[in-house]
Amino acid sequence: MRIRSFNTHTLQRNHTGKSGGIHPYGELLCVRAGHAVLEWMGAEYTASSPSLFVLAPDTPHRIIRVSEPLRFWYVELDMEPHEPFFSVEQAMQWNRFQETADYSSSSLWLIGQTLEHISYSADCLRSEPSAYDEELVRLDLEKTMRLIRKQLQTADTASGYADTSTKAFVQRLMRHMETNYYEPIDIDMLSKRVHLNPSYVIRSFKSIAGVTPIQYLHKLRLNAAISLLSHTDMAVHRIAEETGFNSVHYFSRLFKQKHGISPQQWRDERQGKR
């Protein structure tokens, strides 16, 4: 493993300049103080102190919405073939965990201490560069990455963290849609709830549920519409509104695709009308 770049930065509140990019190297980004939002692969992550983000190679990232002066360091790593960087899936799992991570807990304390050592070495390198401190940073980075891998393995086997598995975040999205099906919902909103890329959410959701998130949402809304058609005299256009459809025409089209007849025809048949 070779350190390609190692830098510390401070961004002021309401920073508007560029801070991020895309490159073919793995990156670790450690927030030392302050608060901001990290945008990575189309999802947003709360970046507050202390937190450590893993950014896989060739994935776009940038810091946005700095609400408090933000102090952080980042390191770009050129990995050897026999020691690959974290996969995108591992990075997603770790980064989602940062919003609730407690680095004073027994499971994360050692990682937190190692990050403090790296931060101290970063300050030393800024004031007086030395090969000794550079080697300390490299060793501490290797240690940090090993500890992260162990933590991810522990989370997978013990299911110790919320939303660390595909099944967990899919079930979370299902519960959200079941409770809020009548509200405006789209794939971008769902993706932000679990801090994941929309295409990854769609693919993962379908692997568990057999349908895409929006198809599942349509199923919930149509089931609710059936109940209202059966047990109320509510007009069809009102039922469309009450079940979350933004257009009675769209509602009628989906209903007919599933049941073969329009909502009004379905109601008339149920009531014995011709």
Contact 264/255 with Cβ under 8 angstroms? no
pLDDT, one tens digit per residue, over 72-128 is 999 999 998 888 899 888 898 899 888 888 998 888 999 999 999 999 988 888 778
| Cα-based distances in Å from 57 to 24, 26, 38, 144, 163 | 5, 5, 16, 18, 23
- Residue closest to 95 by CA, chosen among 40, 132, 136, 138: 40
Where among 158, 193, 218 does a domain terminate? 158
- Residue closest to 72 by CA, chosen among 94, 92, 110, 98: 98
Where among 132, 158, 184 does a domain terminate? 158
pLDDT at 71: 93
Pairing of strands 61-78, 20-21: antiparallel
95/44 Cα distance (integer angstroms):
10
| CATH code, domain carrying 42 | 2.60.120.10
- Residue closest to 43 by CA, chosen among 59, 58, 32: 59
Give the number of domains in the chain: 2
Query: Is the sign of the CA dihedral 176, 169, 141, 75 positive or negative?
Result: negative
- Domain identity same for 178 and 87: no
- Domain identity same for 247 and 201: yes
* Predicted TM-score (pTM) of this structure: 0.61
pLDDT at 210: 85
Per DSSP, the residues of 72-117 read EEEEEEE--TTS----HHHHHHHHHHTTT--TTSTTTHHHHHHHHH
Where among 139, 158, 177 does a domain terminate? 158
- Domain identity same for 124 and 8: yes
pLDDT at 273: 65
- Domain identity same for 99 and 181: no
Helices (H), the chain: 88-97, 109-127, 131-158, 166-180, 187-193, 198-209, 213-231, 236-242, 248-259, 263-270
178/173 Cα distance (integer angstroms):
9
- Domain identity same for 111 and 82: yes
273/265 Cα distance (integer angstroms):
9
| CATH code, domain carrying 184 | 1.10.10.60
pLDDT at 162: 42
Low-confidence ranges of the chain (pLDDT < 50): 158-164
pLDDT at 25: 92
Read off φ and ψ for residue 142, nearest 5 degrees: -60, -40
User: Which domain, by its residues, includes 258?
Assistant: 166-270
- Domain identity same for 19 and 75: yes
pLDDT at 163: 43
pLDDT at 130: 81
pLDDT, one tens digit per residue, over 33-43 is 999 999 887 78
pLDDT at 13: 85
pLDDT at 249: 96
- Domain identity same for 41 and 143: yes
- Domain identity same for 62 and 144: yes
Pairing of strands 26-40, 61-78: antiparallel
108/151 Cα distance (integer angstroms):
8
